Amino acid sequence: MTGLRWGILATGGIAAAFASDLRTAGLDLVAVGSRSQASAEAFAERFGIARAHASYEALVADPDVDIVYVATPHPMHHANARLALEHGKHVLVEKSFTVTRGQAEELQRLAAEKGLLVMEAMWTRYLPHMVRLREIVAEGTLGELRAVMADHTQHLPSDPAHRINALELGGGALLDLGIYPISFIWDVLGEPVSIQASARLLETGADAEVATVMTHAGGAVSTSLSSSRAVGPNSATVIGSEARIEIDRIWYAATSFRVIAGDGTVLEQYRSEIEGRGMQYQALAAEDAVANGDPAGEHLALPVAESVAIMGTLDEIRRQIGLAYPGIDAAEEA
């Protein structure tokens, strides 16, 4: 089946960005669901969506919806994605995929049982400059990979009730911002074999800054930094024995990079030129996976099995820095 009919679950800022990019790509956006009729109708009018549902349950029960984009805060991802899967819908879940590895594994099992696609919306992996970066690494241009460095740093609101600072909303720099460099490091170097993490926690218990040092197969190392209280370079570098790739800011959005040999020679310059923010590329990848009979997403830039494993890495980082989400973590320990 091609040309999936999309429904969007929730109407916040990330949902609006995704809807805009779906329209840019000419994809079939047919429905939206919110917790209120007024919010759903306002969103539907803004993006020319035919049906506005006053509940998430009504959205996932809509027979004209094939795939649901879950755009709620992190703690709701698991329940919302499960709801959609139980109603026979493919699901694209906003990152971070869930809050814990246990939740991620449950979604993976449920999707497999039903023969449905469940996919993390790590849109960065599908951008053209990231596709080219993986090609360069695979071609061996960099030689033996030695290190990856990346940061995601923003100055976000300090209000304790804001979602970035509130534990009940999955607050903290790690799941909101750190997921980007951690996922990127996984993409380039694979699973870490050792993890060291440190952080500064806020009075709310959420993390304001998190730094990691990890080692990977073959001895390569990586460093990451995420912060919700300061703006850094937001750049990334992949270092090999023969050359390196320097990705300009903002590295996780459509941008440019250079491949630089050890003697300083620029081997390649690349610049992304896309329409919109670029979230449409992950939607197109989801449609291709379904059309090609690949519900497990094994050929995606980010298969669900890897999303599950990355949640395990985030769990370990949270353990080391003392970042706990009482309701969720306590439920898994029970």
Task: Give me the count of residues in the chain.
Answer: 334
Reported confidence tier of residue 333, pLDDT bands at 50, 70, 90: low
Reported confidence tier of residue 296, pLDDT bands at 50, 70, 90: confident
Looking at the chain, which residues constitute the CATH 3.40.50.720 domain(s)?
5-123+279-302
Query: Model's pTM, two decimal places?
Result: 0.95
What is the structure's pLDDT at 106? 97
**Element spanning 333, H or E:** helix 326-333
- In CATH terms, is domain 5-123+279-302 a member of 2.40.128.130? no
Reported confidence tier of residue 168, pLDDT bands at 50, 70, 90: confident
Looking at the chain, which residues constitute the CATH 3.30.360.10 domain(s)?
128-273+312-333
Q: Above pLDDT 70, what percent of the chain?
A: 98
For the segment 129-137, the average pLDDT, to the nearest whole number, is: 98
Segment 233-291, tens digit of pLDDT? 999 999 999 999 999 999 999 999 999 999 999 999 999 999 999 999 999 999 999 99
Segment 315-332, tens digit of pLDDT? 999 999 999 998 777 666
What is the structure's pLDDT at 42? 98
Catalytic (active-site) positions: 95
The mean-pLDDT minimum among 166-170, 212-216, 307-311 falls in 166-170
What is the structure's pLDDT at 27? 97
DSSP character string of 236-297: EEEEESSEEEEEPSSTTSS-EEEEEETTS-EEEEEE---SSSSTHHHHHHHHHHHHTT-TT-
Residue 136 backbone phi and psi in degrees, to 5: -65, -45
DSSP character string of 127-169: SHHHHHHHHHHHHTTT-SEEEEEEEEE-B----TTSTTT-GGG
Q: Which superfamily, per CATH, for 128-273+312-333?
A: Dihydrodipicolinate Reductase; domain 2 (3.30.360.10)
For the segment 41-64, the average pLDDT, to the nearest whole number, is: 98
Mean pLDDT estimate for the chain: 95
For the segment 191-210, the average pLDDT, to the nearest whole number, is: 97
Q: Is the pLDDT of residue 195 over 60?
A: yes
CA separation for the pair 30, 50 (Å, rounded): 6
Helices vs. strands in the chain: H and E counts, helices first: 11, 14
Q: Is the pLDDT of residue 1 over 50?
A: no
Segment 17-26, tens digit of pLDDT? 999 999 999 9
The candidate with the shortest Cα–Cα distance to 51, out of 6, 106, 96, 102, is 6
Q: pLDDT: is 34 or 333 the higher one?
A: 34
What is the structure's pLDDT at 2? 52
